[in-house]
Structure 1
């Protein structure tokens, strides 16, 4: 019996097809935007896991609900020092940063 060829492709294959390979300008722009979106999503998920509202998190770190919302929704970039405070003080976690080559 002959095996069926899958019609499905991986997310990596889709991104390569739509945006080109890593190192090409269009792909690099996509990757940068994805990383910003991913950060906001991760903060949102961590906040929800802690059972905190945006306002409660904002009060813990000395900022506003609006600012937390803008970070989570990728409307505003966040400074590294502020991100560290949100993660460590507000969420009780640890911030890990890596550089991959």
Structure 2
């Protein structure tokens, strides 16, 4: 069993490597989207409601 950090280093290289930096940036964007999604659902909003705000 390996840690997530070990997996990323093995498959994408160390931080500072272009491929790894792209992976990390994509993950940050995913987290922001997931937070927006969860908050929207907690507030009982649809995507359409959110778009209007």
Shorter-chain TM range is 0.7 to 0.9
Structure of greater relative contact order (alpha carbons < 8 Å, 6+ residues apart): 1
Q: TM-score, normalised by structure 1?
A: 0.46
What is aligned with 1:11?
4
- Compare CA radii of gyration and give the structure with the larger one: 1
Indicate yes or no: 2:48 matched with 1:49: no
How many equivalent pairs are there?
Answer: 53
Alignment of 1:49-68 (within 5 A): 49-59=42-52, 61=53
State the TM-score, normalizing by the size of structure 2.
0.77
SS at match of 1:21: coil
C-alpha distance in 2, partners of 1:9/1:50? 38
Residue in structure 2 matching 1:20, options 13, 28, 31? 13
- Which ranges of structure 2 fall in alignment gaps of 5 or more residues? none
Aligned-residue Cα RMSD (Å) equals: 1.3
